[in-house]
Amino acid sequence: MKAFPLMALLLAVGAHAAEPQDRAVRNYNVYCVQCHGVNRDGNGINSRDMAVKPRDHTDTKAMGDTPDELLFKAIKGGGLAVGKSVLMPRWDGVMSDEEIGELVGYLRIVSKTATK
């Protein structure tokens, strides 16, 4: 029965992903890396051909100057919702408000701008 170890592994990964932090990392890896990059620095594989460069989420200064509400709004409504580029897609309907909130918290960790 070869499938069993794989099943066990998938179950273990699934259980682990139940933590909110893990869900944010997983969502980021699925929805954001192609533009914002595996290193979260704005250098995703798509970014090379983009007229507006994706935000560098490791930029402590720029991220620190952007309040949570704005990050939330930008993720939920896309770049246009915050007067930025349409190249930043809207994620409303793809992710719940709860998931978007978790991403904001995760971005605070990535950018080292967490206040608590």
Query: For ligand HEC, which residue of 10, 38, 45, 52 counts as binding (CB under 6 A)?
Result: 52
Other residues' Cβ atoms within 10 Å of the Cβ of residue 47: 17
Site mask for ligand HEC (CB under 6 A), range 53-92, x = bound: -xx----------x---xx--xx---x--x-xx-xxx-x-
Asked if 36 touches ligand HEC (CB under 6 A), the answer is yes
Judged by CB, which is closer to ligand HEC: 15, or 29? 29
Distance from C-alpha of 58 to C-alpha of 13, rounded to nearest angstrom = 27
Asked whether the beta carbons of 35 and 54 are under 8 A apart, the reply is yes
Provide, rounded to whole angstroms, the least separation between the CB of residue 98 and ligand HEC.
14
Q: Which residues contact 58 (CB under 8 A, 6 or more apart)?
A: 39, 40, 41, 110, 111, 112
Which residues here bind ligand HEC, judged by CB under 6 A? 31-32, 34-36, 46, 50, 52, 54-55, 66, 70-71, 74-75, 79, 82, 84-85, 87-89, 91, 103
